[in-house]
Amino acid sequence: MGSGGLVVLDDRDCIVDISRFFTSFMQEESCGKCTFCRIGTRRMLEILDRICEGKGRPGDLELLEELGDRICRTSLCGLGQTAPNPVLTGLRYFREEFEIHLNEKRCPAGRCPALITYQINDACIGCTLCAQACPVDAIPFKPYEKHTIDDSLCTRCGMCLEACQDNAVEVV
Ligand code: SF4
Ligand code: SF4
Ligand code: SF4
């Protein structure tokens, strides 16, 4: 993926979010001399941001491809010439994941905060570990009772998921 580095991912990684991360890095590194590298990568990042926030628009994927192609062809140095590669290769091999974000407003890997919610299921034994782990007190402390998450407070940090030893915390 990208300019030749080897990145190992699994099904818990979101390809859209990863593409956004690399695009953000390239955008920051652009020296600004070439218009497409300077502004094109910024436009690509804006599109990826809105797709990850569930605000993607019809035609966004085609726009990403068009912008990426032009940035590759019109940039002076290797940075701009390879900057769109994470998105372009992501779209080539994992297009379905982009389409799910865009059309169903869903993140299959459960990584994009705006597209997921944390819930507690009936496997909860009321051990309180999740309530102790939550940094924003979104889980009321109720020993021996099924716990619940206040979605309005939850920041999607994932600490409760890590803390629970009974598979009672789910990302949906
Ligand atoms: S392609 Fe290279 S020279 Fe052109 S703006 Fe990007 S970093 Fe600068
Ligand atoms: S850590 Fe798991 S089992 Fe314990 S209270 Fe939280 S959800 Fe329930
Ligand atoms: S994801 Fe984080 S903020 Fe949300 S309930 Fe779990 S621990 Fe609290």
Please name each of the domains of the chain with its CATH number.
15-104 (1.20.1440.230), 117-172 (3.30.70.20)
- From the CA of 3, how far away is ligand 1's center (Å)? 15
Q: Considering only CA atoms, which residue is closest to atom 3 of ligand 3?
A: 154
pTM here? 0.85
pLDDT at site 1 = 57
Reported confidence tier of residue 11, pLDDT bands at 50, 70, 90: confident
User: What is the Cα gyration radius of the chain?
Assistant: 19
Query: CA angle, corner 31, sides to 28 and 33, nearest 5?
Result: 135
Is residue 129 within 6 Å of ligand 3 at its C-beta? no
pLDDT above 80 (res 159): yes
Q: Of all residues in the chain, what percent carry a pLDDT higher than 70?
A: 98
Do 71 and 40 form a contact (C-beta atoms < 8 A)? yes
Rounded to an integer, what distance in angstroms lies between the CA atom of residue 22 and that of residue 7? 11
pLDDT tens-place string over residues 62-113: 999 999 999 999 999 999 999 999 999 999 999 999 999 999 999 999 999 9
Strands (E), the chain: 118-120, 169-171
* Dihedral angle of Cα 66, 59, 41, 65, to the nearest 10 degrees: -30
